[in-house]
């Protein structure tokens, strides 16, 4: 199994669920994480990543970490200073239409979104609300482009798009697709030579459907135009994703693998969860399992069954622990000898 990993955690793309998978694997195999200094949750995002943002990094004695997965704005030369040269790089992409709808709800307090009553209102005259000079403007336009390190307000020329796609292809070994999350986990498992239980997941940081809205076609087209760079990235890598499946796995085997993954998940839901599924924040009984609530989104969580034996309880708890709590616990474990 591969143990040196860089995951570019793209915002609002099921990346918290992927992070939980990496946290569990890292904890099980006693791997080291490249934590933000002081144990924060982001590597000084939205600044481009620098090696010195990592706790325990020193240019004089460069220490290599196994897993880099906290939010960052990608800058490969700096990333290479903190991980081994053989590290596997991957990220995840989401359809920019759904991503924008999600961002509008989740980042409602940002400068671009706070004065628009609806996404439609924002898109009817975006420059009335959006100022690229504001430090939080990246949440409102081409967010994936920004996370990959590029300029979200750059012109959309064929040459520029081509250069961007080539740069991403040169840096990343695999790009997952949120809409095909199960297939993505199978591809990830193959690439990392991991077993099925390592990529089993319960969705984390997902929104209650009451805060999701169906978008009319006119809005969909406006979102694609406004996020044209993201759209180019997404459509390109959605295509290569399926080409990769056809080449490496084949559709029939993929179907079998996805079925096995879903069956194992259903089995774990029966073992671990009260009521088999996610619940609203107010219904989460154990406060240590409550996810951070943000913007006007309602972020769902889970209740564990009572009376599980110790080993089972530990396994189930790790599957449902929200990102911030899990990150904190791993940070404290890794730097136990010198408290922050």
Whether the ω angle into residue 46 lies within 30 degrees of 0, i.e. cis, is yes
Q: Which residues of 236-274 are buried (b: 16+ CB within 10 A; e: fewer)?
A: bbeeebeebbeeebeeeebeebbeebeeebeebbeebbe
For residues 175 and 243, give the distance between their C-alpha atoms in angstroms, rounded to a whole number: 12
Residue range 91-120: mean pLDDT, rounded: 96
Question: What is the β-pairing status of strands 5-8 and 88-93?
Answer: parallel
Domains of the chain: 5-205+215-250 (3.40.50.300)
Q: Is the pLDDT of residue 230 over 70?
A: yes
pLDDT tens-digit profile of 258-290?
Answer: 999 999 999 999 999 998 689 999 999 999 999
For residues 147 and 150, give the distance between their C-alpha atoms in angstroms, rounded to a whole number: 7
Residue range 162-179: mean pLDDT, rounded: 98
Query: How large a percentage of the chain has pLDDT more than 90?
Result: 90
For residues 52 and 56, give the distance between their C-alpha atoms in angstroms, rounded to a whole number: 9
Tokens describing residue 311: 């080993």
Q: Is the pLDDT of residue 339 over 60?
A: no
Q: What is the pLDDT of residue 340?
A: 47
Residue range 160-175: mean pLDDT, rounded: 98
pLDDT tens-digit profile of 140-161?
Answer: 999 999 999 999 999 999 999 9
Q: Is the pLDDT of residue 110 over 90?
A: yes
Q: Is the pLDDT of residue 78 over 80?
A: yes
Residues whose CB falls within 8 Å of the CB of residue 113, separated by 6 or more in sequence, listed in order: 103, 104, 107, 122, 129, 139, 140
Average pLDDT score over the chain: 95
Which residue has better confidence, 50 or 338? 50
Q: What is the pLDDT of residue 3?
A: 98
Q: What is the pLDDT of residue 205?
A: 85
Please state which of the ranges 16-30, 198-212, 300-314 shows the lowest mean pLDDT. Answer: 198-212
Confidence of residue 338 (pLDDT cuts 50, 70, 90): low
Q: What is the pLDDT of residue 297?
A: 78
Confidence of residue 100 (pLDDT cuts 50, 70, 90): very high
Q: How far is CA 212 from CA 53, 103, 206, in A?
A: 35, 11, 11
Confidence of residue 337 (pLDDT cuts 50, 70, 90): low
**Nearest Cα to Cα of residue 234 among 100, 88, 127, 130:** 100
For residues 319 and 340, give the distance between their C-alpha atoms in angstroms, rounded to a whole number: 26
Residues 12, 138: contact at Cβ < 8 Å?
A: no
Q: Is the pLDDT of residue 6 over 60?
A: yes
Q: What is the pTM of this model?
A: 0.95
Please name every residue paired with 176 in a beta bridge, in sequence order, or none if there are none: 92
């Amino acid at each position: 199994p591969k143990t040196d990993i860089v995951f570019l955690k793209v915002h609002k793309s099921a990346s918290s669920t992927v992070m939980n998978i990496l946290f569990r694997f890292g904890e099980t195999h006693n791997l080291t994480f490249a934590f933000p200094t002081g144990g924060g949750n982001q590597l000084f995002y939205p600044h481009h990543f620098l090696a010195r943002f990592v706790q325990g990094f020193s240019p004089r004695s460069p220490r290599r970490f196994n897993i880099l997965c906290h939010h960052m704005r990608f800058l490969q030369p700096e990333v290479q200073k903190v991980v081994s040269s053989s590290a596997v790089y991957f990220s995840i992409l989401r359809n920019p239409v759904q991503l924008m709808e999600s961002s509008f709800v989740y980042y409602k307090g940002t400068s671009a979104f706070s004065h628009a009553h609806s996404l439609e209102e924002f898109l009817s005259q975006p420059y009335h609300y959006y100022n690229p000079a504001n430090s939080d403007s990246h949440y409102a336009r081409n967010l994936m482009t920004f996370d990959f390190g590029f300029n979200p307000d750059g012109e959309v020329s064929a040459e520029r798009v081509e250069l961007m796609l080539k740069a991403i292809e040169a840096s990343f070994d695999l790009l997952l697709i949120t809409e095909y999350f199960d297939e993505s986990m199978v591809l990830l498992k193959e690439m990392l030579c991991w077993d099925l239980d390592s990529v089993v997941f319960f969705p984390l940081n997902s929104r209650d459907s009451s805060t999701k809205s169906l978008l009319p076609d006119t809005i969909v087209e406006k979102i694609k135009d406004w996020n044209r760079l993201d759209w180019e990235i997404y459509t390109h890598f959605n295509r290569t994703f399926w080409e990769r499946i056809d080449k490496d796995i084949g559709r029939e085997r993929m179907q079998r693998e996805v079925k096995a993954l879903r069956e194992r998940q259903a089995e774990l839901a029966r073992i671990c969860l009260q009521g088999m599924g996610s619940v609203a924040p107010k219904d989460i009984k154990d406060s240590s399992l409550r996810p951070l609530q943000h913007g006007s989104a309602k972020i769902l969580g889970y209740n564990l069954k009572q009376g599980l034996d110790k080993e089972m309880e530990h396994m189930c708890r790790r599957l449902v622990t929200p990102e911030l709590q899990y990150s904190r616990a791993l940070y404290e474990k890794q730097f136990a000898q010198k408290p922050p």
